[in-house]
Amino acid sequence: MDNLSLRRALYEDPASISPQQLEDDAQLMQLQQELLQLDHQLKQQLEIDVPPQLAEQILLRQQMLPVTRHWWQRPLPYATAAALLLSVWFYQDSAPQVHADLGQHALSHVYHELAALGAISTLDQPSLQPLFAELGLSAELPVPVRYARFCDFEGVRSLHLVLEVDGQPLTVFVVPDQHDFPQAKTNQFADARFFGQSLKTARHLLVLVAQQPQLLTKAGPLLAKSLNFNI
Amino acid sequence: MNSAQQRYEALVRAYTPDLYRYAYWLCRSKSIAEDLVQDTLLRAWKNLSQLQEANAAKAWLLTILRHENARRFERKQLDYSEVEQDSLEDTAHASPEHWVATDRLHRLMLELPQEYREPLVMQLLLGMTGDEIATVLQLNLNTVNTRLFRGRAQLRARLQPDHSDGVSQHG
């Protein structure tokens, strides 16, 4: 291997060349030492700290995913579903329109405004009250509010909030129940990243989304206590 | 616990640290890196049957992670008509983590173009060979070697601005 090839090989991987190959060239030996030292320093930089419990969190999330099986492994439920679908198709013209998937809409909305989860300033209560008042609410939230904005939630003017609960962001959509949102059989939803829950009150629908399921459990009662619905 | 679950748990415990570090150097954000690793491993669970050999696990997971990273930019944007733009969002404090990186080499590595940074991370952090890197990045070996060469040359040049050893950047 000539000098130029050796030099190039050293830059590609300094550990790939044995010192014996370089013993006739002091400059190349010096270059190898410098590049090995650089690699050593780079390795130290590359090994950043990993968040504790990251693997455990991933395993927990995976275990909460619904079990998915191929359709041919359960033909009977699929046949039933197909029959049901046909029935729905026949009668859908006369049936009132309902929401296909409230949870999916909430998750899409969160993804659409992911930057809101990173907001770090705390909004003061006086600036929030007019927003709540527009929806017929008053509220004294005992946790910091990081983001508040009116948005279009399935055609309904709603309030999109991001609260900080236990140091983590929790998204809350306060949706006036003008369209009589149906209460799903299960009011919980999730995808690979977020967990969600909808709570129906007398006049509003609250849709909560967070990355940690325990936040939803904690926030439900907290919001119920804090939000007052003006008559 | 069934065998698929056991296999998956072993995979998660063995590769989460490397995936997280690789993701950080790919996207240059610790919070996004955490999300990327979670999305990657959940997708791996859904497609676990595709992984036939344990030896292929690292390359398989890195490929998924790179796809997940690409999906970040392609995620379908639904048409949300903001009824009224009376936003109270705070944007003044948004600051990528590389802006505050204090260590010079760390910062130089973050500033290195991704096409040079990525193969270096694979080689130095993950101990991958040129052929393995070429497979994951879907490049030929010569291109990978050229990128490794240029990556190291750029870092060395920036660390020693006055140093000149005749190394061409066009190798």
Residue of A219, A227, A211, A110 whose CA lies nearest to A176: A227
Residue B70's contacts (CB-CB under 8 Å, 6 or more residues apart) are none
**Identity (one letter) of the amino acid at B85?**
Q
Alpha-carbon distance A85 to nearest alpha carbon in chain B (angstroms): 26
Residue of B68, A46, B3, B145 whose CA lies nearest to B60: B68
* Whether residues A107 and A36 fall in one domain: no
Evaluate whether B85 touches B79 at the Cβ level (below 8 Å): no
The reply to whether A68 falls in a domain is no
Residue of A180, A211, A23, A3 whose CA lies nearest to A117: A211
Tell me, what CATH number does A143's domain have? 3.40.1000
Question: Can you say whether the dihedral through the CA atoms of B134, B135, B137, B140 is positive or negative?
Answer: positive
Report pLDDT for A77: 62
Evaluate whether A212 touches A171 at the Cβ level (below 8 Å): no
Task: List the CATH code of the domain at B103-160.
Answer: 1.10.10.10
Residue A84's contacts (CB-CB under 8 Å, 6 or more residues apart) are none
Chain A residues in contact with B26 by the CB 8 A cut-off are none
Q: Which residue of B has its CA nearest to A148?
A: B88
Evaluate whether B134 touches B147 at the Cβ level (below 8 Å): no
A123: pLDDT strictly greater than 60: yes
**What are A47-98's pLDDT values in tens digits?**
999 998 899 888 888 777 665 555 555 566 666 666 666 655 555 444 334 3
Evaluate whether B89 touches A147 at the Cβ level (below 8 Å): yes
**3-state secondary structure (DSSP) of residue B29:** coil
**What are A155-177's pLDDT values in tens digits?**
788 888 999 988 889 999 988 87
Domain enclosing residue A191, as ranges: 100-229
* Whether residues A39 and A105 fall in one domain: no
DSSP code string of chain A: --HHHHHHHHHH-GGGS-HHHHTT-HHHHHHHHHHHHHHHHHHHHH-PPPPTTHHHHHHHHHHHSPP---GGG-HHHHHHHHHHHHHHHHHTTTSPP--S-HHHHHHHHHHHTGGGGG--SPPPHHHHHHHHHHTTEEE--SS-EEEEEEEEETTEEEEEEEEEETTEEEEEEEEEGGG-----SS-EEE-SS-EEEEEE-SSEEEEEEESSHHHHHHHHHHHHHHEEE--
Chain A residues in contact with B171 by the CB 8 A cut-off are 8, 11
DSSP code string of A42-61: HHHHH-PPPPTTHHHHHHHH
Chain A residues in contact with B81 by the CB 8 A cut-off are 152
A-B Cβ pairs (cutoff 8 Å, strict): 142
Whether the ipTM is more than 0.90: the answer is: no
Which residue of B61, B73, B83 to mutate against A (max A Cβ within 10 Å)?
Answer: B83
**Identity (one letter) of the amino acid at B137?**
L
* Whether residues A126 and A190 fall in one domain: yes
| Statement: B1-74 belongs to CATH 3.20.20.70 | no
Per-position pLDDT tens, chain B of length 171: 678 888 999 999 999 999 999 999 999 999 899 999 999 999 999 899 888 888 899 999 999 999 999 888 765 444 444 444 344 333 333 344 444 444 888 999 999 999 999 999 999 999 999 999 999 999 999 999 999 999 999 999 998 766 444 444 444
**H/E stretch holding B93:** none
Alpha-carbon distance B88 to nearest alpha carbon in chain A (angstroms): 6
Residue for token pair 């009224």 = B84
Residue of B15, B136, B13 whose CA lies nearest to B67: B136
Burial of A105 (0-12, 13-18, 19+ CB in 10 A): middle
Total of domains in chain A: 2
Distance linking the first and last C-alpha atoms of chain A = 87
Alpha-carbon distance B42 to nearest alpha carbon in chain A (angstroms): 6
Q: How many CB atoms lie within 10 A of CB A171?
A: 24
The reply to whether A59 falls in a domain is no
Summarize the confidence of residues A96-112 as an average pLDDT. 71
CA distance B63 to B60: 5
Domain end: A46, A62, A79, which one? A46
Write down how long chain B is: 171
The reply to whether A11 falls in a domain is yes
The reply to whether A16 falls in a domain is yes
